[in-house]
Amino acid sequence: MKITVVGTGYVGLVTGACLAEMGNHVVCLDHDADRIDMLHSGQLPIHEPGLLDIVLRNAHSGRLEFTSDVDHAVTHGRVQFIAVGTPAGEDGSADLQHVLAAAKAIAERMLDDRLIVNKSTVPVGTADQVHEAMAAVLRARGQSARVDVVSNPEFLKEGSAVQDFMRPDRIVVGADDAQAAQLMRQLYAPFMRNRDRFILMDIRSAEFTKYASNAMLATRISFMNELALLAEKLGADIEQVRTGMGTDPRIGTHFLYAGAGYGGSCFPKDVKALVHAAQEAGQGLRILQAVQAVNDRQKQVLVDKIVARFGPDLHGRRFAVWGLAFKPGTDDMREAPSLTIIEHLLARGAKIAAYDPVALAQARRVLGERPGLHLVGQATTALEGADALVIVTEWKEFRSPDFAHLAATLRQPVIFDGRNLFEPADMSALGLEYHAIGRGTP
C-alpha cells in the first residue's frame, strides 16, 4: 500500500518505518530540511532502540523515503497519516495549527480520493475540524475528490516504541465510514497475525480514548507518589505496599512505582489538554487537577530532601546527578524531573555534575551553558568531589554500581534516590546514607 506520513518526529518516524517494514511503500514528509538531510544521511533525530536498523533497511530497499516535497508526498499516498506536534498552549489546550495546516496542504494538492488518518494526539472533535477544513479547500478548488478522516491514536512508549508498534496490545480506530474502516483493518492486518487487536469505534470515542488512557496512567503515578509521602510519615515502605497492592488482579503491577514525578511529551501535555477540554465543556475534572498538582510537587521532593540534609544554602556544595531524560530508553527531556531538580539546586548555589547515557546532547540544547552545571561523559566522573549522589532516571547501568568506589569517591557517602533502585537495609550495611521515596529513610 502507498502511504504518506506527515511529520518525522517521534510518532511519525516510528509509524512510517514500521509500516514500511511490513512491505508498504512509505513517504515521510517534513518541512524541516535539516531533519530530512539527517535522515538521508542515515541518522535519527530521536533516540529509540531498534529504530535505526529498520529505517536503514527500508530506506535501502526503497520502501521508505524522506522528503520535504509536499507535492510528491500528497500525490504518493492513498492513505495520509498526520503525525505532527500538538503542543500545549498557555491555557493547556492542544495547539492544532500544525494538524490543520497539514490537512489543508493535502486538500490543496489532492486530485483523487484520500484517507486522512489522525495519528497526532488531538482533542475530541478534531477529526470534524480536519474534514471541514479540507472540504472547504476542495470546494474552493472545484475538486470533487472524496476525503475521509479517521482517528488512529498512538499508544507508543518511548524506549519500546518499535516493539509497541510491531506487536501492539490494541489498535484503536475511530471511523464513521465502513470502507475507511476496512482499509485501516487491511493496513494493520500484518500486525495482528496471532489474534485480532483491531478495536473499531466512533471517531470521537477514539480521540477520547487516547486522552483517557494517558490520564489514567498519570493518575496512578501521582496516586502512588502521594501515598509515598504519607508512607514516610507513617513509617511504612511504599515498595512493600506496592507489592501488596499489585498482586490484586483488579489493580495490577503497572505504573505503581513511586518516584520523582512523571514527564515526557505525553502525560503532562495530555492531562492539561483534557482538563482544558473539560473546562470548555463546563465539566470540571478535579481528580486530574489534583494529579497535575501532585506531580508538580513531586518533582521537588528530592530537592526538599537535599535541603533538609544540607540546609537551604547550598553554596560550596556539589552534587552528582545520574539521569537527565524523563525515563530510561530515550533522550527526551521534555518536562523531565531532572530539569526542576537542577534549576532548584543551582538557584540555591549548588554546583552539579550531571550524567546520562544518551541524553547529554539533548541536555546541552535544553539547558545550555549554566554557571555551576557540568555535563560529564561518565557516571563515575560525576561522583568526583560531590557531596552526594542524586539519582533521577532509572537507567539499567545505575542499578548495580560499584558501591565501594561510590562511597570512596563522594565527599560524603550520601545517596538521594528518586527511583527507589536499592534496598535501604543494604545501603545501611554498606555504610551509605540513603534517602529514597516513601521508604522511611532519614
Question: Which residues belong to the active site?
Answer: 266
d(CA 439, CA 442): 9
**Closest-CA residue to 109 (of 137, 83, 79, 74):** 74
- Backbone φ and ψ for 235, nearest 5 degrees, come out as 80, 20
Residues 6+ apart with CB under 8 A from 321: 338, 341, 342, 352, 353, 354, 355, 382, 390, 392
One-letter amino acid of 399: R
- Backbone φ and ψ for 355, nearest 5 degrees, come out as -135, 145
Query: Beta partners for 25?
Result: 2
Mapping DSSP to helix (H, G, I), strand (E, B) and coil, where does residue 146 land? coil
Half-sphere exposure for 329 (CA within 13 Å, toward CB):
14
DSSP string across 99-120: HHHHHHHHHTT--S-EEEEE-S
d(CA 336, CA 378): 20
Q: What is the dihedral sign for C-alpha 126, 131, 136, 138?
A: positive
Residue labelled with grid coordinates 545520574 = 322
Q: Are 431 and 365 in contact (CB under 8 A)?
A: no
Q: Radius of gyration over alpha carbons of the chain, in Å?
A: 24
Residues in the chain: 442
DSSP string across 205-229: HHHHHHHHHHHHHHHHHHHHHHHHH
